[in-house]
Amino acid sequence: MNTTLLSILALLIFPGGLFLLGYGLAYEYVDRKLVARFQNRVGPRWFQPLADVVKLLAKEEIVPHGVQRGLFIFLPVAALAAALTAALYVPMAGQVPSYSFNGDLIVTIYLLSLLTICMGLAGANTIDRFSVVGATRVLTQLFSYEAPFLLALLSPAIMAKSWQISEINIYTHNNLWFVLTQPIGFLVALVGLMGKLELPPFDAPEAETEIVSGALTEYSGRGLALFRLGKDVELVIGLTLVAAFYLGGIANPLEFVLKTLALLVVVAGLQSLFARLRIDQTVGLWWRLGAILGLAQILFVIFWRLVLR
């Protein structure tokens, strides 16, 4: 009885549901405000992301002609659900993850990709040409950053000799920060996270100057709101993962806030520094540079483990 209650609490309030949604919205605000300040603007007010989401939820939802109705409604829900589920396996706010088993690193990475896949499917589901172009770009980008991102998260796992996020977290906490010993992996992971979230310079899938809004062009109201929330949640989880793996682990809420915020500042800076890459440039960058760097890093780590220890 008690465990069921705790599980429901974990799903709805603390690492899952409400906390994560609120925190995600707060981080979207910080991100937008920082980018605005970097561009010499005043930027949005603190409740802006919340107002956007509430407004979208209150709007009419149009189901356009030519879509598979059930999928059109189901995909945003699945995307948000996957992102929220992933939160159960990461050390949110420095607490022990609510669920944890050997191999949950892989599960989390796949849950995080589910949002992107849902967006791609949502775009391909409509007959609108902008959505379809956006969908192909979403999926192309998925195939380009996913491998380097995974490689970059694997090298700490190999060092910690575990596939369990909580154990890696403890290991990194007790050792020298991996950002110092494995700077390449850190870079690939951080930039991979930006690719995952389709932040500039990797926002070719939703390039508003070319293809309107990419895969989500036909979504109005609730579906759009859920996708946006999903992205915010993924931002928090991604930052937590990178901070736990490369910035010396997350042991308490204060460390959680400070380390993820520091990462967010770097991400916002990178966003305003670079212009959008074309989709072929994105793929080229990831496979020519990202994957090679990730591989080199992982080979180095394996070499270190086998030979020098």
Query: Which residues form the interface with other proteins (CB under 8 A)?
Result: 32, 36, 39-45, 47-48, 50-52, 54-55, 58-62, 130, 208-209, 212-213, 216-221, 224
**Which is nearer to other proteins, 102 or 209 (by Cβ)?**
209
- 100 residue type, one letter: S
Name which of 208 and 280 has its Cβ closer to other proteins.
208
For other proteins, the closer of residues 50 and 257 by Cβ is 50
Q: Give CA torsion, residues 116, 118, 119, 121, to 10 deg.
A: 120
Q: Which of 150, 101, 303, 128 is nearest to 218 (CA)?
A: 128
Question: CB of 119 within 8 A of CB of 215?
Answer: yes
Q: How many CA atoms lie within 13 A of 123 on its CB side?
A: 26
Q: DSSP assignment, residue 262?
A: H
Shortest Cβ 106–other proteins spacing (Å): 35
Hey, what amino acid is at 140?
T
Cis peptide before 201 (omega within 30 of 0): yes
Shortest spacing between CB 76 and other proteins, in angstroms? 14
* Nearest CB to other proteins, comparing residues 128 and 146: 128
Instruction: Compute the least distance from the CB of residue 33 to other proteins, in Å.
Output: 10
Closest contact distance (angstroms) between CB of 34 and other proteins is 13
Contacts by 253-259, CB closer than 8 A, 24 or more apart: 253/93, 253/94, 253/95, 254/94, 255/94, 256/91, 256/92, 256/93, 256/94
In one letter, which amino acid is 263?
L
Residue 275 CB, nearest distance to other proteins (Å)? 16
**Which one, 189 or 211, has the nearer CB to other proteins?**
211
Q: Decide whether 60 or 176 has the Cβ nearer to other proteins.
A: 60
Using an 8 Å Cβ cutoff, are 147 and 192 in contact? no
Name the minimum Å distance from CB 170 to other proteins.
41
Q: Which is nearer to other proteins, 123 or 238 (CB)?
A: 123
Closest approach of other proteins to the CB of residue 194, in Å: 21
Query: How many CB atoms sit inside 10 A of residue 153's CB?
Result: 25
Tokens at 298, concatenated: 């992982």
Q: Which is nearer to other proteins, 3 or 209 (CB)?
A: 209
Burial class (CB in 10 A: 0-12, 13-18, 19+), 1: exposed
In the complex, minimum distance from the CB of residue 130 to other proteins, in angstroms, rounded to a whole number: 8
